[in-house]
Structure 1
Amino acid sequence: MIIVIEGFDQAGKKTQSKLLSNFLKTRNKKSTIFSFPDYTTPVGKEIKNFLGGKRKFPPQVIHCLLAANRWERSKNIKDALAKNHVVIMNRYYQSNLVYGTVNGLDLKWLENLDRGLPKENIVILLDVKVLDSFSRKKQKRDRFEKDKTFALKITNTYRKLAKRYHWNIVNASQEKTIVHQQIRDIISKHIR
């Protein structure tokens, strides 16, 4: 099973992925967490340079790189699934659909970049208010995260695509224990 935790910057994706992994342990389920972009890979290093402002790419190229980054890890994902692990994705291709659409790219074109990757079973959108995201961030923001107008477009597009693709939406501006409980409620319907 693949569970995707999506959302804008500082929605709590990393925290909720860890909490979910710990919850699955209590249900005797092993899990593996993958985070995207994965900056440890060769393509991931290029993405990090782009987000840090050290490299410039047209939108098509960066979104191809983001997809290539997931393809770099596809064998690891398949291996975890083969071991009957629940795979938790701290972002997956859904974020590429959101950011790519906001960057003016065609949704079908973006979908095709990841066609053939292991398919998710559940997507949970941590829907954070832009003001909460900005107040939570302590360190430097990357080029996608700095602009509040852009941030608003991202959060609105996440909501729009969540409806289109039937993703689960959780209000991530709540206390993290409440968010975790709501995620557990969603997951418990799918795990025996």
Structure 2
Amino acid sequence: MAGRRGALIVLEGADRAGKSTQAKRLVESLKERGYQAEGMRFPERTTEIGRLVGSYLEKKSNLEDHTVHLLFSANRWEQVPLMKEKLRSGVTLVVDRYAFSGVAFTSSKKVIAEAAAKRGDFGNERYETSAFQKMVQKRYAELMEDRSLNWQVIDAAQSMEEVHSAIRQLSEDIIQEAKDQPLGKLWVESDT
């Protein structure tokens, strides 16, 4: 694949939507079809910054809101050199959450921080409450209104196989488009 770049495929959404499962299945499926593909997940908790984020999410530490936001962003940025290298070498990256989750989660936190804390949990981590996740879904919907972004919405209420099939087909189309693009500039990200 010399001279051809890989595609960056990001699965975004609220917790428990099936992103991690579908990301793993997509990587396996793409490899079976002869593509070079690897998975990544954010936050990436193995780095020093990632461990700080993990501790915060697991409610083992408390951090000021602006600090948390910056740590999530820094966690993504510390992976950029590796991601660029892989994309330039023709590897398609399937990423379980990236920059838009920072926007959706941070803006949701500002709206219902106190209300979410009073409601029942459905998970063990800081943001895993029903009320908070509903706000996250609303924020994602608002982000998708920006038609300049290449959002592809897949209804996660379908069967696991139907969701996988839709994601795989969209991903293969994106991989073909990426192969035809020059290796020039590979990166644009906001500071979120």
Q: Which category of TM-score, normalised to the shorter sequence, fits these structures?
A: 0.7 to 0.9
Q: Residue 45 of structure 1: CA displacement?
A: 0.7
> Which among 65, 68, 72 is matched to residue 62 of structure 1?
68
> Which among 120, 145, 148 is matched to residue 128 of structure 2?
145
> Which among 129, 141, 148 is matched to residue 159 of structure 1?
141
Q: Give CA-to-partner distance per residue, 1:85-119, whole Å, 9 cap, x none.
A: 001111111100111222339xxxxxxxxxxxxxx
> Which among 97, 104, 125 is matched to residue 103 of structure 2?
97
**2:81 is aligned with 1:75:** yes
> Which among 25, 28, 52 is matched to residue 22 of structure 1?
28
**2:47 is aligned with 1:41:** yes
1:116 is aligned to none
**2:162 is aligned with 1:181:** no
% of aligned pairs identical? 30
In structure 1, what is the Cα distance between the partners aligned to 2:26 and 2:137? 23
Which consecutive residues of structure 2, in runs of 5 or more, have no partner in the other structure? 1-6, 112-119, 177-192
**2:178 is aligned with 1:172:** no
**Higher strand fraction: Structure 1 or Structure 2?**
1
Q: Residue 166 of structure 1: CA displacement?
A: 4.3
2:174 is aligned to 190
SS of structure 1 residue aligned to 2:14: coil
**2:18 is aligned with 1:12:** yes
Q: Which runs of 4+ in 1 moved over 3 A?
A: none
Number of residues paired by the alignment? 160
Q: Residue 23 of structure 1: CA displacement?
A: 2.1
In structure 2, what is the Cα distance between the partners aligned to 1:171 and 1:20? 16
- TM-score (norm: length of structure 1): 0.76
SS of structure 2 residue aligned to 1:174: coil
Q: What residue identity is the alignment partner of 2:140?
A: Y
Q: What residue identity is the alignment partner of 1:28?
A: G
SS of structure 2 residue aligned to 1:89: strand
- TM-score (norm: length of structure 2): 0.76
